[in-house]
Every structure is written in C-alpha cells, then in structure tokens.
Amino acid sequence: MKCITRILAAVSALALTAGLAACSSTRAGFEQNGTTQKLEKGAIIGISMPTKSEERWNKDGNNLKDKLEKAGYKVVLNFADDKPAQQNADIENMVNQGAKIIVVAAKDGSAVGPAVEKARDAGDTVIAYDRLIMNTDAVDYYATFQLEQVGVLEAQYLIDQLGLEDGETGPFNIELFTGSPDDNNAKYFFKGAWDLLQPYFAKGVLVNPSNHGGGVTKDFTVDDWQKISVQSWKTEQAQKDMESILDSTYANGRKLDAVLTPYDGIAQGVINAIESKRPDMQPGTESWPPITGQDAMEIAVSNIAAGKQGETVFKNVDELADAVYDMIIEIAEGKEVTGINGEFNNNNVDVPSKLLDPQNITVENLEDLVKANYITQERYDKLTGGKDVL
C-alpha cells in the first residue's frame, strides 16, 4: 500500500511539474496560439521619455501613446525630467506594473542599463527609441533616423552657403557645438558633419579662432566631440558659451562666418548671444552667419522665416512613432519584426535597427512642414509672421 501511495504521489508531482512548465511557457499578459505567443489586448506597454521640457519629446511620447491606445493597449507614459535616476525608477515601475513591451528614449544611454536589464529578466521586450541604450544586451531593437546624415545635411548647408565647393578659400571663421555629452547620438551627428568639414580645416579654408573647448583645428577628431558639447542640449548653456566666445574673440568686430550647431535649442542660444553681444550683426545681411539646427522646433520655424537660422534637419517624429508602433504590433502579434535596415553596436551587442531618413529644411521648403502635417497651416502662418512663437 505504501508503495502504491508513493507511486501515486510521484505521478501527481510529475503532473504538477508538467502543468507548471506548460504555464511558464506563456508569459503573463500573452495568449498562446499554437506555437505563437500574442500580447493580449488591454496589456500594458511602457514608454519612457527623457524630459517634458523639450518640445519634441512631448510629441514623440504622446504620438506613440495615442496610436497604441487606439490599438487597444494600455500605455504607461513617463517623462524623466532629465534625471537618469528618475528614468530608471520609471522603467522599474513599468516592469512592476506588468508592462510587456517597454520603449525607452534614454536620458543617459549608459545609465539606463540596470533598469532595462530588470525588464529583460522579467521577460519584457525593450525598444530603444531614437537614442541607443549602451553597454548591455538587454535591448532588443533600436529605431531612429540616419544619425550621421543629420550632420551631413548641416555641414553641407554651411559648405554651400560659404561657397566652399565653388572654390572660395576664406579663411572663414566658424564656431562649432555638439550635443549633450551623455547622449550617444550626439557623436554620430558630429561625425557626419566633421567628415565633411575637416578637410577644409586641413586646407586652412575654415578656422576656429576661439578657444572654445580648447579650440577646433585640423587635428580635432570625432572622439574629441565632448570638448565642445552642450550639457542636456540646453539653450541657456549654449547662450552662455556663445557669449563667452563673442566676448573673447569677436568683440572688436571680427566677422563670424558660420556656426555649426546640432539642435534648434542650441541654435536659439547662439542667436540670443549674438543679438545680445553683437547688435551690429543683422539677420538677412552678410553680417549674420548661417546657423544650423535640428528637430524643426517651432522656434526654428520662426527663426528660419526671420533669417536668423539657416536650416533645420527635420526628423518626422510622426514617422518614427509609426515605425515603432509597427514594430510593437508585430512583436505583440508574435510576428517577425520587419523594416530592419541596419544595426548599431552598443559596446556589447549589435542591435537590430530601423533607420529613417531625415530631411533638410530651409526657407525655400519651409512649408514642407505643413505638407507633412507636422504643424498646421494656421500655426505656420503665426510662426512665420513673427507671432505667438512661445
């Protein structure tokens, strides 16, 4: 009898183990359909954005949130207030709330690693949004724009404005800024630009007379980019840096021929500094330098129309949200992710990447922003008319 009892107990234990194994093969929040696991409608998807203080991240986060909610999913959208520790806490909270897919636009691509590793350990899929998550294998996909192409467009605009390809020899005085030192994308933006501009430094056609960041010469390399960076991409820091440059180098009427900046907010800081320190320099005249930017912010639309900023690189965040939305839906439906057209190494793994094309915007094609439904015609008219730009 005891033998029979032990046999029955063993059989029961095997049955229980098999049942647990069967349950564990389907993650919570997913439904099993044959060999495919699908995310249940109503499941939670997390979106972590770096800050609410910049116009574009509000658009990015809310665009994606709206699309996913219309598809029937619950969305937890958090903004990290430019604080890596806050972003890590936000992501961990998403995991604790049961999010199954987490989209992260990192404030600091290296600092966010521990949080996404917890997400990975919980069985979540992690998508890096526009900014690559560094030094971890806990990132499944990356979606962004052709990063170096952004810098190429900015540099080519300056080359065209100065007539360098037409044989102009200058020397032309140029000041250069890069993005935040904790943003991995900033290096790629600068690399795209520097690959085009460095040969003109080597020939002496372009010169950097200030000592900003120790000075930029022909021997400056892409790896030196943080020497001329602007922390957190802040307008105020860019203005402070540019005012120092103008006071030290351009106070006696020296001509400033061009300014490379990677972002509209930094361009605005440069513009503020010039207007404050060199009122003799007037937009729309040869005294005003061509200034570059990125993100097609509303202030950039106004500045381009007024002749204060020469160009901006338009990265259609609606298209990026669409691309990530498609990626999420394919993952949710247990399908292979399509549209992968590149990979980025994050110092640990090659991350499969979906890369979109940016567009150069100048005064000649400024209305393309309306055609793309990026801004309304009414808003465009106000911005280009010099009204209601804040």
Q: Which is it for strands 125-129 and 141-145: parallel, antiparallel or unpaired?
A: parallel
For residue 196, which phi and psi values (nearest 5 degrees)?
A: -85, -35
Asked if residue 20 belongs to a domain, the reply is no
The yes-or-no verdict on residue 203 having pLDDT over 50 is yes
| Whether residue 105 is found in the same domain as residue 248 | no
Question: Both 262 and 226 in a single domain?
Answer: yes
300 and 347 belong to one structural domain: no
What mean pLDDT value characterizes the chain?
Answer: 90
pLDDT reported for residue 318: 87
Per-residue pLDDT averaged across 283-298, rounded? 96
Residue 300 and residue 178 share a domain: yes
pLDDT in tens, 104-160: 999 999 999 999 999 999 999 999 999 999 999 999 999 999 999 999 999 999 999
Residue 11 lies in a domain: no
339 located within any domain:
yes
CATH number of the domain residue 175 falls in: 3.40.50.2300
**Quick one: average pLDDT of 222-233?**
97
Residues 378 and 306 in one domain: yes
Total tally of structural domains belonging to the chain: 2
In a domain, 1, yes or no: no
* Residue predicted with more confidence, 13 or 175: 175
User: Which of 11-25, 359-373, 374-388 shows the lowest mean pLDDT across its residues?
Assistant: 11-25
Phi and psi at residue 172, in whole multiples of 5°?
A: -105, 135
**Cβ contact 82:54 at 8 Å:** no
Say yes or no: 336 and 290 in one domain.
no
Please report the pLDDT score of residue 54 as a whole number. 85
Overall size of the chain counted in residues: 390
Residues contacting residue 6 through CB under 8 Å, at least 6 positions apart: none
Q: Is residue 17 part of a domain?
A: no
Strands 206-207 and 172-176: parallel
Instruction: With cut-offs at 50, 70 and 90, classify the pLDDT of residue 12.
Output: very low
Contact predicate 313/293, CB 8 Å? yes
Say whether pLDDT at 30 is over 60. Answer: no
**pLDDT, tens digit (0-9, with 9 covering 90-100), for 232-253:** 999 999 999 999 999 999 998 9
Which of the two residues, 8 and 96, has the higher pLDDT score?
A: 96
Domain co-membership, 271 together with 192: yes
Task: Look at residues 320, 44, 362 and name the one whose alpha carbon lies nearest to residue 185.
Answer: 320
Give the pTM.
Answer: 0.82
- The letter for the amino acid at 195 is D
Is 34 within the bounds of a domain? no
Same structural domain, 293 and 336: no
Could you tell me the residue range of the domain that residue 65 belongs to?
Answer: 44-139+317-356
DSSP E strands in 271-376: the ranges are 312-314, 342-345, 350-356, 359-361
Answer yes or no: is pLDDT of 18 > 60: no
**Alpha carbon distance 151, 146 (integer Å):** 10
- Give pLDDT, residue 387: 61
Same domain, 187 and 331: no
State residue 131's pLDDT score.
93
* 202-229 average pLDDT score: 97
Domain co-membership, 350 together with 323: yes
Task: Say what the pLDDT of residue 31 is.
Answer: 54
Does the pLDDT at position 390 exceed 80? no
What pLDDT, on the 0 to 100 scale, is given for residue 86? 96
pLDDT at position 56:
87
Q: Would residue 194 count as lying in a domain?
A: yes
User: Is the pLDDT score of 8 beyond 80?
Assistant: no
